[in-house]
Structures are given as C-alpha cells and as structure tokens.
Amino acid sequence: MIKVDLTKQIRTHDGSGLHINTQFASGQITQLVGPSGAGKTTLLKMLAGLIQPDQGRIQVDDQVWLDTEAGICLEPQKRGVGFVFQDYALFPHMTVEKHLLYGTRDEAYIKQLLQTGRLEPFRHHKPRQLSGGQQQRLAILRALSTKPRLLLMDEPFTALDNALKKELIADLKNLLTVQGTTCLVVTHQPFLNGEFAGDTFEME
C-alpha cells in the first residue's frame, strides 16, 4: 500500500494549492485523472523525490520515503522508481539499446523489452532517428529496464496510434503483473480504465 498525505503550494487550476491524502494499492495500476493544472504531474514528481512538498508523508508498504516532520527524505535513486516523462527526457547521444543497458545488463530482459515496444529493428538508432511514437515507447522501456518497484507514467500513450496503443497496453499490463509493479499513470484517456488501469483516482 502506498499512503500519501502531501501539501504543496502551487498554482492549481482553481488556485487552491495541492493537498492529497489518499492511498494506492500495491501491485495495481491506477490512473490519475482530472483537469489540467490539478497537480497530477506534481504528485508523480513528489513520489519520485524530484520535488519536495511543503509538508507531508509518503509510506510505501512498510518503508517511509518521506516524513517532513521527522526529517526523513529518501533519495530518488533509493526509491526504486521508474519515471516516464511527458517530454520523454531521452539521452540524445545514446542508441535505443544503450538506453536499456543504462538500466540493466540482462540481455534476455532487454530483448523482451524491445519486443514489447516493437523496437527490435531500431535498437541501434538514436532518438533523433525515431518517430515521436517510437521515442515514447523507448521512454517507457527505459523506465521499465530497472524493474522498478513503482512505475510513474505521465501521459505515456499520447503519440501512439490506437492499434499499437492497445497492443502495447496489453503487453505492458502483463509485464507489470508478472513483476508485481505498482503503476500510477496520468492520463486524459478514459479508455485506459479496464484495459490498462484497474483503479481510478480523480484529482479535482
């Protein structure tokens, strides 16, 4: 179980600031929905440790990642989080294969990821040689390469056509289930509910 109680003074869509007190089931996929400016991306970044809340607490199963009152703040690299950024954040000088080698040396797993993302023919290509959809798939595969405990995805399927999106979603869901990965995905695509995400958390 992931328990969060976080406050962050940001300019939300209604000007109220961000306060979230909720919990997410471990080993499940939950979609985060809500209007633009509700703080969905900010929540992901606070969970990853990339930005700090003004006050609050994050507990993942029996481990406290953050407790501002107790002065606890686990470093991002110790949280076991994979992050799929909206702008992909790929390394321009690295090939597809090297992006995955950055996270794992397991050749069999790299092959599995390339098959999942339909990127086997492009393993020696650099990001500038890939289409937007291919770059988006690479960003997802790179986040998965470390077999993260928690996968955070920010609008991860926007550049994909519907047919490829459904194939990728089916493969990803199976992979996350096998690995027991908890996944939070920001989306404006309600069809994900049922097909990918089992639960929905609405941010107002």
CB count within 10 Å of CB 126 equals: 16
Average predicted confidence (pLDDT) for the chain: 91
> Domain of 38?
2-202
Taking the C-alpha atoms of residue 106 and residue 129, their distance in angstroms, rounded to an integer, is 25
Q: Provide the domain count of the chain.
A: 1
CA-only gyration radius of the chain, Å: 17
Q: What is the pTM of this model?
A: 0.91
Model pLDDT, residue 204: 72
First-to-final CA distance of the chain: 22
- Distance, in Å, from the CA atom of 87 to the CA atom of 61, rounded to the nearest integer, reads 30
pLDDT tens sequence across 124-168: 999 999 999 999 999 999 999 999 999 999 999 888 888 888 888
Q: Which of 84, 73, 196 is nearest to 139 (CA)?
A: 84
pLDDT at 183: 95
CATH number at residue 9: 3.40.50.300
Residue pLDDT, tens place only, 6-56: 999 877 656 678 999 999 999 999 999 888 888 999 999 999 999 999 999
From the CB of residue 153, how many other CB atoms can be counted at a distance below 10 Å? 25
- Asked whether 33 and 202 are in contact (CB, 8 A), the reply is yes
Instruction: Judge residue 76's burial from the number of C-beta atoms within 10 Å of its C-beta, 0-12 exposed, 13-18 middle, 19 or more buried.
Output: middle
